[in-house]
Structure formats: C-alpha cells, structure tokens
Amino acid sequence: MAPLRAPARRRAPQEAALPLVHSHALFGPRFVRHLGRLLRIYWQSPDAPRAGLLLATIVALELGTVFGNVLLSDVQRRIFDAFQDRQMTPFLEAIGLFLATAGGFVLVATFRIYLRGALEIRWRKGLTGHFLQQWMSAQTYCQIELHRKATDNPDQRIQEDVRDFVASALGLSLSLLSAIATLASFAAILWNLSGRWEIPLDGRNVHIPGLMMWVAIAYALVAIWITHLVGRPLVGIQFDRQRVEADFRFSMARFRENVEEVALAHGERGERRNSLRRFDSVVRNWWDLIRAQRNLSLLTGGIGQANSLVPLLIAAPGYFAGHFTLGSVMQTRIAYGEVTGSLTWFVNAYQEIARWRANIERLVTLLEEIEATRTELAQTERVQIVRSEQDALRLEGVSITRPDGTVLIDHAEAAVRPGDRVVVFGPTGSGKRMLLRAVAGIWRFGKGRIELPRGARTLVLPERPYLPIATLREALSYPELPDTYTDPRFREALELVGLGALGGRLDEVEHWSQHLSGGEQQRLGIARALLQEPDFLFLDEATSGLDEDTERRMYELLRERLPHSAVVSIAYRPQVARYHEQRWRMAPGPAGMLLQTS
C-alpha cells in the first residue's frame, strides 16, 4: 500500500518541464542576510577559536605570497636590465636572488594551500553537522517528505551545496584579500614607474602623473560594468543547474533502489523515458549556461587581451626614445597586470560568485523550510504524545485528520498493556497505518492524547524494513550501535528466524535490501525485534511476504522470546488473527473511521 501523503500545497511534483529560475539578484540585502546567517552557524560555534587561529595563519601566508610577488617583480626588472646592459655578473646575481625568492614563495604557497584545506574540512564538518541536526531532529525530515514541501533534494544540498559554499567562501574571501593587498602593493609601484611617462597629443608630449594607474582604473570600471550587465543571468541559471542535476541523479538512484520491481514489471522503457525527461531539463539548463558563459567570455576575454597590450603601446614611444630601460618597461607591465587583475577581481570571480550565490540560496531555503515546518506543526492542532507513569499505551480521544482538517479516524479510545497481542483489521484506506504513524509521532495532525509508559522502548517493523548499506550487524542492530550486542546473540537471532547461513557474514558490507529477498528481509526484521526486545512492537504487514507456516513460526518466536512485549499487528490476511487475543477493527462512522476494540 502506498504511503498516504498530504496534498501538495505549494508546488506540483517536480517534472522535466519545471520553469527555470532567473530572478536572484547577485547582491543586495537578501544576499547579505543569508550569507551572515550561514557564516554565524560555524563562526559562533565552539570550534570557531581554533578555526580563527588557522584563518589568521592562512591570511598571513596569503599576504606573504603578495609580498613575494612584489619581490619577484623587482628581481625581473634587474634581470632584464642586466640583459639590456649585457652584464653577466648582475645577471647571475639577479638569477640567484630570483631562485631564493621563488623558493620561499613556493614554500609559503604550499603551506597556505595545505592549511586552507584543513580549515575547509573543519568548516564543512561543522556546517554539515548543523544541517544534519536540523534536518534529522524531531523527525523534520519525515514531515518535509510527507507533506511535499517546496525544498527539493535536501540530501544533495547538505552534501554538495555545503561543500561548495565552504570552498567558495574561503576561495573568494582569500582571493579578495589577496587582490586588495596586491593593489596596495603594486599601485604605488605602478604610479612611480609611470610618473615620467608621456603620451603624444597634438604634436607635443603630455605628462600625466600616474598615467598607467588611471588607465588601469578606467579599464577596471568598464570591465566590471560589462561583466555585471552580461553575466547577471548566471545566478539564476546556476541555481537551476544544481536542482535539475540533482533531480536527474535522484531518478536514477530511485531506479537502482527498485531494480527488481522494475524488472518484474518490464518497466525499463518507462524508467528510461522518465530519466530522459528529467535529463531534458539538464540539457536546457546547460544551453542557458553556455550561452551566458559565451557572452561573458567574448566581452571580458576580448577586453582582457586588448588590455595586455596597453602598457607596451603607451611605453613604446618613450622606450624607443631612450627615456627608460627595458627592465622598467617589463616591471611596469607586471605592475599594470597586477593592478588591473586586482581591480577586476569581480570580473574574474563573477562565475564563481554566481555559483556561490546559488549555494547560499539553496542552503538558506532549506533552513527556512525546516523552520516553517516546525512552526506549522506547533501552530496546528495536533495529537499530543506524553510519557506517563502508567504501564500501558493509551489512546484517549484520538482523532486523526489530514492537514486540511478532513477526519480520517474519529475519537479512538484504546489501551495496550505489556504482553498484549493485538491485531488491527480494516479495509484499504481506513486509516490503520495513519494510526500507527500517530503512535510513532510522525503524523501529528488531529487531536487527542497518546500516552506511552515513561522509558518504554518502541519498535516499528514496516512491510519492507529499512536496511542500511552497512555491515550485517549494523543492519540487525539498527538504529542502535552494533556493539550493543555480542556475536553469539546476533547469530542466535539469525538462527531463530531461519537465516543462520548469514551468521558468518556479520562484518560484510552489503546493500542488504537488494541482496535479500522480500521474505528474508522481513525475517531479518523479526530478528531485529528479538535482539532489541522492545516494550511495544508494531508490525505493519511485517509478515506479508512469508508463507503461512513461516509466519506462524515468527509469531510463535515473538510470543516465546518476547512474552512481556506488547505486539500490535496491522494485517489484511484473516489467519493473522489466530496469533492475537485482541482484535481491533476500523469501521465507518458519521465523521470518520471508528476504532472498534474487543
């Protein structure tokens, strides 16, 4: 039976024809607010002081590389002057100085890269932990999926967007710092070197103080304006790219998770058609991306190539007239390149900023969706789950509704005590599973009160138990730690349910839900119950894949091994009733289904 979902309220299920988003501004109050929120998560955490020391060291090394570039530019001036003067001794001295400076430069740059990587993984670990805690706490993840919230692919956001956000945050901030330091270092050099330069105008030479500096500023302003004008669509395109790529990947992952069911239904063509339909969105987005990149590259690349000739063209008259040396021209060219590179940092980083902006948007919208889900649940009338000193599970006036208020189950009253064996029958769609979800705390829409004994342990075994891709001992003990139980207990549980052949494979890592048949998975679920010995065990069609004889043995095992555990079974097959003393039935009532107990 397919799980019941609340009706979609904000969007239709994602398909290939989804419209692409292009409305995100690159900067603005929203960007600053969202960026500040993400930065505070880690940089106000307990790990922040250590990370701050690491960042300070990286900044110092970054400034060291800028200083190294300044030294190298001066050394290159000496080398070219020695060439021009045909002086071997100054040339060799300059080469020695170059090797020493370059060696120190490489050493500083290497440690800077290493420490940056160390900070990046610490930051990513802290941010990932925060997102996982927010997403997986209070069953928020379940509420988002059940109610089809507007946030797509939260797993991809936590894995990929967190990684890219941290990498870009460090890369962009350090490159901006380097650009500022480089500008401060080379601006004075460029001003002084071009202080004696003149340009021919109306038959005479005109002297403009700091000529090359003004040329660099003019070039930077033009390049920034053109880049922002042409590259603005990249923000929305990058946002959409991450979404459509994740949707395409998820469609194939879902196919892999259900290969047997697809094969039995001969559904390969349908799955291929579905994947290709989603890939069409990837293709459309890709064309949007490369068109935007083409337009941006044509303009910025053309301007950049022309700009590399500017210092040589301006210097040529003075150099050929003998006013300055070849070394001065080369150093001026280097300084001009460093200054324009610093002033046009925004141009060079534009595409990465666009990707980073999309990362920020996707991460913050996930946090906002989590908060909205919690607020919505807090403000909605809901079933109260409380812990009491009683030894029984009690339903007191429990009504279960859809989010729109439609009553599914009306005013249920019941009690389950230790050792009880209860089976719940009812037609398809009568709300049996919704009742179980309410007891488990994942469906809170409704009213009334569910009491659970304080400290009581519950275990729910669905028709297809969840088996993580892990060792067999981890799959058996899930969600508890595997070292909770000894190897003899694992093997005994497997032997009891007829899976003794797996006893020697406790440490094998497998995709067990694909490796085992449906009946074997259900027996593995029973083995999990035998290990964990819950106070309340709920079986949701948990033996539907077993033959009658095996099903009987499983229920006998539960009675023999878990005599004090209450067992509540949801079933359709009438023969399941023989293993239970109490029979509950869902029957139509005036306002919704009624729970009849006996």
Maximum alpha-carbon separation in the chain: 112
Token duo for residue 249: 């990947």
Closest CA to 360 of 173, 132, 169, 148: 169
Token duo for residue 462: 């669905």
Residue 21's pLDDT is what?
41
244-290 confidence digits (pLDDT tens): 888 888 888 878 777 767 776 777 888 888 888 889 999 999 999 88
Q: Collapsing DSSP states into helix, strand and coil, what is residue 453?
A: strand
Q: In whole angstroms, give the CA distance from residue 220 to residue 343.
A: 6
The proportion of the chain whose per-residue pLDDT surpasses 90, expressed as a percent, equals: 36
* pLDDT at residue 48 greater than cutoff 90: yes
Considering only residues 440 and 545, tell me which one the structure prediction assigns the higher pLDDT. Answer: 545
CATH (one of 3.40.50.720, 3.40.50.300, 3.30.413.10, 3.20.20.70) for 384-596: 3.40.50.300
Query: Looking at the DSSP assignment, which residues form a beta bridge with residue 407?
Result: 401
Compute the average pLDDT of residues 592-596. 86
Per-chain mean pLDDT for the chain: 84
> For residue 45, how many C-alpha atoms fall within 13 Å in the half-sphere facing its CB?
19
Q: In whole angstroms, give the CA distance from residue 337 to residue 190.
A: 10
Same CATH topology for 29-378 and 384-596?
A: no
Compute the average pLDDT of residues 441-463. 89
Q: Strands 536-540 and 593-596: what pairing?
A: unpaired
For domain 29-378, the CATH superfamily is: ABC transporter type 1, transmembrane domain (1.20.1560.10)
First to last CA, the chain: 26
Residue 55's pLDDT is what?
95
Residue 207's pLDDT is what?
66
* pLDDT at residue 12 greater than cutoff 50: no
Residue 147's pLDDT is what?
63
Which of 199-208, 418-427, 439-448, 568-577 is predicted least confidently? 199-208
* pLDDT at residue 581 greater than cutoff 90: yes
If you write DSSP's letter for every residue of 540-579 in order, what string do you get?
ESTTTTS-HHHHHHHHHHHHHH-TTSEEEEE-SSGGGGGG
Residue 161's pLDDT is what?
92
Q: Where are the alpha helices (DSSP H) in 344-455?
A: 345-348, 350-379, 432-440
The proportion of the chain whose per-residue pLDDT surpasses 70, expressed as a percent, equals: 89
Considering only residues 252 and 507, tell me which one the structure prediction assigns the higher pLDDT. Answer: 507
Peptide bond before residue 479 is cis, with ω within 30 degrees of 0: yes
* pLDDT at residue 128 greater than cutoff 80: yes
Output the CA angle 169-171-175, nearest 5 degrees: 120
Q: In whole angstroms, give the CA distance from residue 77 to residue 530.
A: 80
How distant, in Å, are the alpha carbons of 28, 238, 486 from that of 350? 15, 12, 57
* pLDDT at residue 13 greater than cutoff 50: no
If you write DSSP's letter for every residue of 197-251 in order, what string do you get?
-EEEETTEEEE-TTHHHHHHHHHHHHHHHHHHHHHTTHHHHHHHHHHHHHHHHHH
129-167 confidence digits (pLDDT tens): 999 988 887 667 777 776 655 567 888 889 889 999 999
If you write DSSP's letter for every residue of 284-353 in order, what string do you get?
HHHHHHHHHHHHHHHHHHHHHHHHHHHHHHHHHHHHHTTSS-HHHHHHHHHHHHHHHHHHTHHHHTHHHH
User: What's phi and psi for 463, nearest 5 deg?
Assistant: -60, -35
If you write DSSP's letter for every residue of 239-302 in order, what string do you get?
HHHHHHHHHHHHHHHHHHHTHHHHHHTT-HHHHHHHHHHHHHHHHHHHHHHHHHHHHHHHHHHH
CB 341 within 8 A of CB 187: no
CB 98 within 8 A of CB 76: yes
Where are the chain's structural domains? Answer: 29-378, 384-596
**What are the residues whose beta carbons fall under 8 Å from the beta carbon of 300, sequence distance 6 or more?**
223, 226, 227, 347
Q: In whole angstroms, give the CA distance from residue 525 to residue 460.
A: 9
159-208 confidence digits (pLDDT tens): 889 999 999 999 999 999 988 988 888 788 778 776 666 665 666 666 67
Considering only residues 249 and 122, tell me which one the structure prediction assigns the higher pLDDT. Answer: 122
